[in-house]
Structure 1
Amino acid sequence: MLFENASAELALLLFTLLVPVGVMALALMACTRGFLAVDGAAARAADRLATLPAVVMIAGLVCSFFHLGAPAHVFGMMAGLGHSPLSNEIIVAAIAIVIGVVYWVICLAKGLNAGGHKAFGIVLLVAAVACAVFTGTAYSMPTIPTWDTPYNWVGQLGLALLGGAVLAGASLAVAGYELDKRARCLLLGCGAVGLVAVAAVLIGQGAVAGAAAGSLGGLPAAVMVDYASAGIGCVVLCAAGYALWACSRDRAALACVAAVCVLVGLALMRVDFYGVFLSAGLAWL
Structure 2
Amino acid sequence: MAEIGFSFAIEEICLVLFTTLAPAGAIALFTLSLIALRRFSDKAVLARLNLFMCVPIVVTIVGLVASTVHLGSPANALYVMCGVGRSPLSNEVASAVLFLGVAGLYWAYSFAERPKAAVQRVWLAAIAASAVVFVGFVAVAYSHETIVTWNTPFVPVSLCLNGLVGGPLLAFATLQAAGLCPCNARGRLGRALVAVSAGALVANLVVMGLQLADLSGIANAAGAALDRAPLAAPSAVLYGVLGAAACALCGVQAWGLGKPSLSKTLIALGLLFVGLFAVRFSFYMMHMTAGIGL
- Hey, what does 1:50 align to over in structure 2? 53
- Hey, what does 2:280 align to over in structure 1? 270
SS in 2 for 1:245: helix
Which of 60, 63, 67 is the aligned partner of 2:63? 60
What amino acid maps onto 2:161 in structure 1?
Answer: G
Q: Is contact 1:134-1:153 (8 Å) kept?
A: no
SS in 1 for 2:218: helix
- The 5-angstrom pairing of residues 15-94 of structure 1 reads 15-36=18-39, 39=42, 44-94=47-97
Say if 1:191 and 1:123 are closer, same or farther in 2 by CA, change over 3 A: farther
1:101 is displaced (CA, Å) by: 1.4
Question: In the aligned structure 2, how far is the partner of 1:276 from the partner of 1:54?
Answer: 30
What amino acid maps onto 1:141 in structure 2?
Answer: H
Deviates more, 1:93-102 or 1:215-224: 215-224
Larger radius of gyration: 2
Which of 88, 97, 101 is the aligned partner of 1:98? 101
String of CA shifts for 1:24-51, please: whole Å, max 9, x gaps: 2112112112215784866544432222
String of CA shifts for 1:118-165, please: whole Å, max 9, x gaps: 534432222222212211211111122211112222112111111111
More helix by share: 1
SS in 2 for 1:236: helix
- Hey, what does 1:256 align to over in structure 2? 266
After TM superposition, the score normalised by the length of structure 2 is 0.83
SS in 2 for 1:61: helix
Question: In the aligned structure 2, how far is the partner of 1:82 from the partner of 1:188?
Answer: 36
- CA-based RMSD: 3.0
Q: Is contact 1:44-1:111 (8 Å) kept?
A: no
Question: In the aligned structure 2, how far is the partner of 1:107 from the partner of 1:176?
Answer: 18
Q: Is contact 1:35-1:114 (8 Å) kept?
A: no
Deviates more, 1:42-51 or 1:93-102: 42-51
Say if 1:240 and 1:136 are closer, same or farther in 2 by CA, change over 3 A: same
Q: Is contact 1:176-1:252 (8 Å) kept?
A: no
1:5 is displaced (CA, Å) by: 3.4
Q: Is contact 1:96-1:131 (8 Å) kept?
A: yes
Q: Is contact 1:137-1:153 (8 Å) kept?
A: yes
After TM superposition, the score normalised by the length of structure 1 is 0.85
1:189 is displaced (CA, Å) by: 4.4
Say if 1:269 and 1:107 are closer, same or farther in 2 by CA, change over 3 A: farther
Say whether 1:202 aligns with 2:208: yes
Which of 178, 185, 193 is the aligned partner of 1:187? 193
String of CA shifts for 1:206-234, please: whole Å, max 9, x gaps: 2222210389753565832x221111111
Question: In the aligned structure 2, how far is the partner of 1:155 from the partner of 1:215?
Answer: 27
Say whether 1:243 aligns with 2:248: yes
What amino acid maps onto 1:170 in structure 2?
Answer: A
Question: In the aligned structure 2, how far is the partner of 1:271 from the partner of 1:282?
Answer: 23
Q: Is contact 1:34-1:114 (8 Å) kept?
A: no
Structure 2: segments with no counterpart, 5+ residues: 255-259
Say if 1:61 and 1:221 are closer, same or farther in 2 by CA, change over 3 A: closer
Sequence identity percentage = 31
Q: Is contact 1:37-1:183 (8 Å) kept?
A: no
SS in 2 for 1:211: coil
Question: In the aligned structure 1, how far is the partner of 2:204 from the partner of 2:113?
Answer: 37
Question: In the aligned structure 2, how far is the partner of 1:102 from the partner of 1:170?
Answer: 23
